[in-house]
A and B are shown apart, each in its own frame.
Chain A
Amino acid sequence: MATLARLQARSTFLVHQYYFRNSAVDVFRKKEYDAAVKIQSWFRGCQIRAYLRYLHRVATVIQKCWRGYLGRQHYQLIVKLEFCTMKMNLYNAMAVRIQKRWRGYRIRKYCFNYFYLKEYLKAVSETNDAIRYCYQGFAILDELCDHTAWRLKRKNTTLFPVYSMLNTSSHQMCGFSMPGNLRHQEALEEFAEMKEREEKKADLEREEKKRDYQARKMHYLLSTKQIPGIYNSPFRKDPDPWELRLQKAKPLISQRPKVKQKRDVNISNQLACTSARSLPQSEILPPIDRKQCQGPFRDITEVLEQRYKPLEPTLWMAEPINELKMAREELRKQEWMRNINDNMFLPFSSYHKNKKYIPLMHSSSKYGPNSYGSQHFRDENPKKWICDKDFQTVLPSFDLFSKYGKLYSKAGQII
């Protein structure tokens, strides 16, 4: 019991002590606990770290191997690719070389052949010179044309198919062809000169003819034994060339110069008698200051008028006498020419056979037109006629007044 009392007396002390010791220990407990925790955690950490290190090492090794493997694979791919690229570049470079050469060749030969162009231009200028200053005739021009056509054909076969194939963008060279380049070629200049020469020759011939004609007209001026002619003057050393011409010339038989045909159909041309002898307009001029001849002579103009009076036939004369008959004949001839069938068109005889002819009222009545005054003008006695044919007008009518005012003499004219 004493212990109990001691204990009970100490209990509060114990409680306090207990409490105090606990709290004192509590203070340290945390500290110690924290320290222990710290030590443990640190140790554990070391442990784990060592383990992690180990793991890291292992993982690194694995990854290292794997990555190496992958890398080597990748590297091989790259090497392959590089190799292929290198080969392709080489091929490309070689292809570029080939294409470079080929393109240059093609352009120079087909699309723009500089030397061919030069030759072509030279040939053109040579043809031009030939055309300008050539030699002969005209037939060679044809030959030139043929030759050009031949050359064209020859060049065509080689060049044109190639052109059509290769000529893509430049349309500059259209069908090139070499012009003909002949040795002896026709010249236009020569042709012109030839024409001139011909004309000169024609002129000379005309002159010669004219002089010859004049010499023939003047043949009477030839010198005779007695009298020297005007071209053979005694004071000259040799006779004039005209003298020699006169000696050679034949005397001219006077011919009427031919009348030239006029283009327009003039009515007076159809009557030949009126055209040539009409009054000369300006060839013969009246003489000036001519002394009036003594005597009862008429005025010269009147005389000339009468002399050169054109023929003035009456129309009765101008047309032939049997014109009516001739016209009928002509009509018959024309019809004969035109008609296919010469037989007259006969009526259908059976149609009208039984029909009785009924004349017109006008012509069957006795009150028709009187024939006197239109058909006959006087009494006729047919019994006294010699023959039954009528007179044919053969003689021309007597024209009293057609020569009125046109006669030369004034006799018998009514003033």
Chain B
Amino acid sequence: MSQRQVLQVFEQYQKARTQFVQMVAELATRPQNIETLQNAGVMSLLRPLLLDVVPTIQQTAALALGRLANYNGDLAEAVVKGDILPQLVYSLAEQNRFYKKAAAFVLRAVGKHSPQLAQAIVDCGALDTLVICLEDFDPGVKEAAAWALGYIARHNAELSQAVVDAGAVPLLVLCIQEPEIALKRIAASALSDISKHSPELAQTVVDVGAIAHLAQMILNPDSKLKRQVLSALSQIAKHSVDLAEMVVEAEIFPVVLTCLKDKDDYVKKNASTLIREIAKHTPELSQLIVNTGGVAAVTDCIGSCKGNIRLPGIMMLGYVAAHSENLAMAVIVSKAVPQLSVCLSEEPEDHIKAAAAWALGQIGRHTPEHARAVAVTNTLPVLLSLYMSTESSEDLQTKSKKAIKSILQKCTYLPALEPFLYDAPPNILKHVVGQFSKVLPYDSKARRLFVTSGGLKKVQEIKAGPGSLLQEYINSINSCYPEEIVRYYSPGYSDALLQRVDSYQPLAN
């Protein structure tokens, strides 16, 4: 009898522990409970339960800890300070798959908040055990381990290097080839986080042969997977010309252009980021993209979305046009300029407007033909208003000023220049008048138009310091016209005439 009673005490205790841990795990799924749990001191209670005899209690305790640490950084720090990590890491190597999943979940939850916490995880030797978990048979364990590694590698280059040194990259590439979609997603996202910090890390990822597998997965219909794959490829391609060429050699064009038409906005954004990172390195790569029709695809993509999703596409157009004037002409031919001017006027955010202004400046700065193509769409007044408005940020103002200056220096399309005579500030007016002085001496129709539209009158009204460049331009304009017309339009001419009438003595008969 007494034996049974003694054993019953133990049973009850065990039941109580199980129930406690299950309830805590369930409560921790709701964020509003977590504050209360933390105040009740749940960490110190959960910690000995991790070392419990019964495996299910251990697993549930690990799960509860993971959910708590996931919620915010303070709880994660409490997990680290409570010396829980070494125990987790030790038992990670030995337990069954449910425990491994729960422990990897805890590591991920702790590692995601800040680099210091991730460093603490690395310091207690978790990386090796996580890499061992990557070799496990169960795909859930692999996914949890890959997720944890990805979150650790996300913070900075040293942590990424530590993950790479632990030998995670070949295993991640193997994980990408597994049939489970969720595992592929997580592995692609982990590779993306590793390779984003430095060219050497990206080279390490490339050396394992990741690009070929990633390129194959662009065709996969799952949109979240496509997001991660495109993000990984763009992080690889952004570092150097060689890496970008290797990504291009994997024959992603023109397949990537289909991703620009995907329904998911982030797939579009990541695809245009990838194309931008490739286009910005050299003119040859930009030319490749233009030849496969990438500019048209990106222009349509810009037209179909709004906000920050458009930004990489706009920058891509700017980079392509910046390399050479033929590429800029190709961009113009693909009808990108009206789209960019729509972006410039529609978008509420300043940084997107600044990017659109920069792109337009790059397109229009090469030759008079290019400047004409930009000026015809009536974007110059918009740029001027952005430059003059006090609400624009400094970045927007500088970019629109540079764009206006570079376009104006080549613009010979006079109908677009005329409005500038009226509203431009003096530093821009100088360039406008300079352009007029270059065109008018050689074109008689333009001279006539200039007079009839009132431009000559406005030029006469401009006050310029003697000997300044502006005065020289004004003089060269005036020298294109006969003196009477110049005098007719000069200010105060009617007064001068009236004075002459006053002082005129009629001849006595």
Interface residues of A (CB under 8 A from B): 117, 120-121, 124-125, 127-132, 138, 141-142, 144-145, 148, 152, 171-180, 186, 188-189, 191-192, 195, 264-268, 270, 314-316, 397-399, 401
A172-B325, A314-B15 are contacts. A124–B291 as well, Cβ < 8 Å?
Answer: yes
0/1 interface trace, chain B 297-337, chain A, CB 8 Å (1 if under) = 10010000000000000000000000111100110011100
B8 at the interface (CB under 8 A from A): yes
B287 at the interface (CB under 8 A from A): yes
Which residues, 48 to 102 on B, are CB-close (under 8 Å) to A? 54, 56, 59-60, 63, 98, 101-102
**Selected A-B contacts with CB under 8 Å, 30 pairs:** A121-B330, A121-B333, A124-B293, A124-B330, A127-B292, A128-B334, A128-B335, A131-B296, A132-B296, A141-B258, A144-B292, A148-B291, A148-B292, A152-B291, A173-B326, A174-B324, A175-B284, A175-B287, A179-B290, A179-B293, A188-B261, A191-B258, A264-B63, A267-B18, A267-B22, A314-B15, A315-B11, A315-B14, A315-B15, A315-B54
A124-B330, A132-B296, A267-B59 are contacts. A172–B324 as well, Cβ < 8 Å?
Answer: yes
- Residue from A124, A180, A314 whose CB has the most chain B CB atoms within 10 Å: A124
Chain A residue at smallest Cβ distance from B11: A315
Q: Is the CB of A265 within 8 A of B254?
A: no
A138-B258, A179-B292, A191-B261 are contacts. A399–B8 as well, Cβ < 8 Å?
Answer: yes
C-alpha gap A404/B22 in the complex (Å): 21
User: Chain B residues near A316 (CB, 8 Å)?
Assistant: 11
User: Chain A residues near B251 (CB, 8 Å)?
Assistant: 142, 145
C-alpha gap A177/B289 in the complex (Å): 12
B4 at the interface (CB under 8 A from A): yes
C-alpha gap A3/B291 in the complex (Å): 159
C-alpha gap A176/B8 in the complex (Å): 87
Q: Is the CB of A397 within 8 A of B7?
A: yes
User: Chain A residues near B4 (CB, 8 Å)?
Assistant: 397-398
Q: Is the CB of B334 within 8 A of A188?
A: no
User: Chain B residues near A130 (CB, 8 Å)?
Assistant: 293
Q: Is the CB of A265 within 8 A of B258?
A: no
User: Chain B residues near A176 (CB, 8 Å)?
Assistant: 326
- Residue from A127, A131, A132 whose CB has the most chain B CB atoms within 10 Å: A131
0/1 interface trace, chain B 367-401, chain A, CB 8 Å (1 if under) = 00000000000000000000000000000000000
Q: Is the CB of B22 within 8 A of A188?
A: no
Q: How many residues of B contact A (CB 8 A)?
A: 48
C-alpha gap A141/B255 in the complex (Å): 7
B278 at the interface (CB under 8 A from A): no
C-alpha gap A264/B67 in the complex (Å): 11
Task: Pick from B11, B254, B296: contact of A144, CB below 8 A.
Answer: B254
Q: Is the CB of A188 within 8 A of B98?
A: no
C-alpha gap A180/B251 in the complex (Å): 15
Which residues, 232 to 281 on B, are CB-close (under 8 Å) to A? 251, 253-255, 257-258, 260-261, 263
C-alpha gap A315/B52 in the complex (Å): 15
C-alpha gap A213/B257 in the complex (Å): 41
Q: Is the CB of B326 within 8 A of A172?
A: yes
Count contacts between A and B, CB distance < 8 Å. 119
Task: Pick from A125, A189, A315, A398: contact of B261, CB below 8 A.
Answer: A189
How far, in Å, is B302 (CB) from chain A's closest CB?
A: 13
Chain A residue at smallest Cβ distance from B282: A174
B295 at the interface (CB under 8 A from A): yes
How far, in Å, is B275 (CB) from chain A's closest CB?
A: 13
A174-B283, A188-B260, A397-B7 are contacts. A145–B296 as well, Cβ < 8 Å?
Answer: no
Chain B residue at smallest Cβ distance from A268: B22
Which residues, 405 to 460 on B, are CB-close (under 8 Å) to A? none
C-alpha gap A398/B13 in the complex (Å): 17
How far, in Å, is A313 (CB) from chain B's closest CB?
A: 10
Chain A residue at smallest Cβ distance from B256: A141
Q: Is the CB of B8 within 8 A of A270?
A: no
C-alpha gap A189/B283 in the complex (Å): 28
User: Chain B residues near A132 (CB, 8 Å)?
Assistant: 296-297, 300
Q: Is the CB of A177 within 8 A of B287?
A: yes
Task: Pick from B8, B140, B290: contact of A124, CB below 8 A.
Answer: B290
C-alpha gap A315/B55 in the complex (Å): 13
User: Chain A residues near B290 (CB, 8 Å)?
Assistant: 124, 179
Known: A145-B254, A174-B284, A175-B284. 20 other contacts (CB 8 A): A117-B326, A120-B326, A124-B330, A128-B296, A132-B296, A138-B255, A138-B258, A141-B255, A142-B251, A144-B292, A145-B251, A172-B324, A174-B324, A180-B291, A186-B254, A265-B98, A265-B101, A267-B56, A314-B11, A399-B8
C-alpha gap A126/B25 in the complex (Å): 61
C-alpha gap A78/B251 in the complex (Å): 75
Which residues, 31 to 54 on B, are CB-close (under 8 Å) to A? 54
A120-B326, A121-B333 are contacts. A179–B291 as well, Cβ < 8 Å?
Answer: yes
Q: Is the CB of B295 within 8 A of A128?
A: yes
Which residues, 1 to 24 on B, are CB-close (under 8 Å) to A? 4, 7-8, 11, 14-15, 18, 22
How far, in Å, is A259 (CB) from chain B's closest CB?
A: 18
User: Chain A residues near B263 (CB, 8 Å)?
Assistant: 195
How far, in Å, is A406 (CB) from chain B's closest CB?
A: 13
CB-based closest 3 A-B pairs: A128-B296, A131-B293, A179-B291
How far, in Å, is A322 (CB) from chain B's closest CB?
A: 16
C-alpha gap A403/B184 in the complex (Å): 49
Task: Pick from A120, A124, A171: contact of B334, CB below 8 A.
Answer: A124
C-alpha gap A144/B296 in the complex (Å): 15
C-alpha gap A35/B59 in the complex (Å): 163
C-alpha gap A173/B324 in the complex (Å): 8
User: Chain B residues near A148 (CB, 8 Å)?
Assistant: 291-292
Q: Is the CB of A141 within 8 A of B291?
A: no
Q: Is the CB of A131 within 8 A of B291?
A: no
C-alpha gap A315/B300 in the complex (Å): 64
User: Chain B residues near A173 (CB, 8 Å)?
Assistant: 326
- Residue from B290, B291, B323 whose CB has the most chain A CB atoms within 10 Å: B291
A121-B333, A145-B253, A314-B11 are contacts. A265–B291 as well, Cβ < 8 Å?
Answer: no
Task: Pick from A125, A145, A192, A264: contact of B292, CB below 8 A.
Answer: A145
C-alpha gap A257/B444 in the complex (Å): 86
